[in-house]
């Protein structure tokens, strides 16, 4: 049986700082499948972080990390109410860590991958571009979520962004990748380059949607870095706060096609109550058999302070929201 990689506690802080230091030196010049066994589903080649920093690199890393959360000692956050494989809670405003469990363990992200896809589309794409859907957007994997676009359909990149994030359309992810980079592989290179730029060194993407692959993985901490970057863009915030989107476009015959795409975050759809004193302003769910049930999201307290919370590999959808509720309760308790 393939084994999970556990990044040892004693190197976690150094690994994060080392990644940021490398980034600071360089600055001047990543779906739904229901197949396979859920247990012991990970197979990653072990990677040893480089922990030795020169004094100059260390000072640059400290400066670069001044507005980022740094996990120092997870033993401070023991909590039996958090049963998922990994979970973390970060304050955007004061860069504090309110909770962390296995934040540096490499895990499958499922459709949380699409946060990076959306970031690339918004940051480097032109949302008014007209995109013609190609055969590469056809997803046949059993259980995969789709926004039901077809080859020959003509949509804007902005419409595809909503099709990507609300119904979690794997086909929209493939269409975005093809339009922006010519192939899923080339787009994945863009995703990995962006991950490195953000210091997300425990991440490797091989597709734009999150359908399972042994070489497609990340960590809870890296997802915080990616989501934190995405929140800097108003368009990303607009998309993730939307619960329903009406899209009208043309098919290959020039006929009008319309769809209404809906989001699946239970806090935003009213299927789960948000703790008193908090408002969930958006996020992204993800589920595959190997990844379990996952969710990253942004919340705001009554004072306007914002937080990023992430739960990875919960054992069920109700269990995912139970874990997330227990996690974000720490903001107001």
Question: Of these residues, 30, 33, 168, 188, which one is catalytic?
Answer: 168
Q: Does the active-site annotation cover 114?
A: yes
Q: Which two tokens stand for residue 176?
A: 């975005």
The beta strands (E) that lie in 69-117 are given as: 86-91, 97-101
Residue pair 240/298 in contact by the 8 Å Cβ criterion = yes
Q: Is 81 a catalytic residue?
A: no
Q: Which residues pair with 300 in a beta bridge?
A: 279, 306
Long-range interactions of 239-244: CB distance < 8 A, separation 24+: 239/118, 239/161, 239/162, 239/165, 239/166, 239/282, 240/165, 240/281, 240/282, 240/283, 240/284, 240/298, 241/268, 241/281, 241/282, 242/162, 242/166, 243/166, 243/268, 243/269, 244/166
Question: What secondary structure letter does DSSP report for 131?
Answer: E
C-alpha–C-alpha distance, residues 19 and 65, integer Å:
10
Element (H, E) at 132: strand 130-132
> Which of these is catalytic: 33, 84, 100, 111?
111
Q: Catalytic one among 101, 114, 284, 313?
A: 114
Query: 38 is written with which tokens?
Result: 């859920």
Q: Tell me if residue 168 is catalytic.
A: yes
Burial class (CB in 10 A: 0-12, 13-18, 19+), 109: buried
Is residue 292 within 8 A of residue 314, CB to CB? The reply is yes
Alpha helices in the chain (DSSP H): 12-26, 55-64, 113-124, 157-165, 170-181, 184-197, 220-230, 234-240, 266-269, 317-332
Q: Give catalytic residue positions.
A: 111, 114, 168
């Amino acid at each position: 049986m393939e084994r999970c990689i556990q990044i040892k506690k004693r190197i976690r802080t150094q690994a994060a700082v080392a990644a940021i230091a490398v980034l600071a030196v360089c600055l001047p010049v990543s779906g739904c499948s229901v197949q396979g066994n859920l247990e012991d589903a990970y197979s990653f080649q072990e990677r040893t972080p480089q922990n030795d920093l020169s004094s100059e690199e260390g000072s640059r890393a400290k400066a670069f990390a001044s507005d980022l959360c740094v996990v120092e000692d997870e033993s401070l956050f023991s909590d039996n109410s958090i049963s998922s494989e990994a979970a973390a809670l970060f304050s955007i405003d004061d860069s504090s860590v309110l909770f962390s469990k296995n934040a540096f363990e490499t895990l499958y992200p499922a459709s949380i991958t699409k946060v990076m896809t959306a970031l690339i589309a918004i940051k480097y794409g032109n949302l008014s571009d007209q995109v013609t859907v190609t055969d590469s957007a056809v997803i046949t994997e059993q259980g995969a979520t789709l926004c039901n676009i077809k080859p020959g359909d003509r949509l804007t990149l902005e419409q595809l962004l909503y099709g990507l994030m609300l119904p979690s359309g794997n086909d929209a992810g493939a269409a975005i990748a093809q339009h922006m980079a010519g192939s899923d592989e080339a787009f994945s290179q863009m995703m990995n380059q962006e991950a490195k730029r953000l210091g997300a060194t425990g991440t490797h993407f091989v597709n734009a949607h999150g359908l399972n692959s042994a070489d497609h993985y990340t960590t809870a901490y890296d997802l915080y870095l990616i989501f934190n970057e995405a929140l800097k863009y108003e368009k990303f915030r607009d998309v993730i706060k939307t619960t329903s989107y009406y899209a009208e476009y043309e098919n290959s015959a020039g006929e009008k096609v319309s769809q209404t795409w809906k989001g699946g975050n239970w806090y935003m759809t009213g299927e789960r109550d948000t703790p008193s004193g908090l408002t969930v302003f958006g996020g992204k769910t993800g589920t595959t058999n190997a990844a379990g049930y996952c969710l990253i999201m942004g919340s705001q307290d009554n004072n306007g302070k914002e937080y990023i919370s992430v739960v990875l590999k919960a054992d069920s959808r109700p269990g995912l929201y139970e874990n997330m509720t227990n996690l974000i309760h720490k903001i107001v308790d």
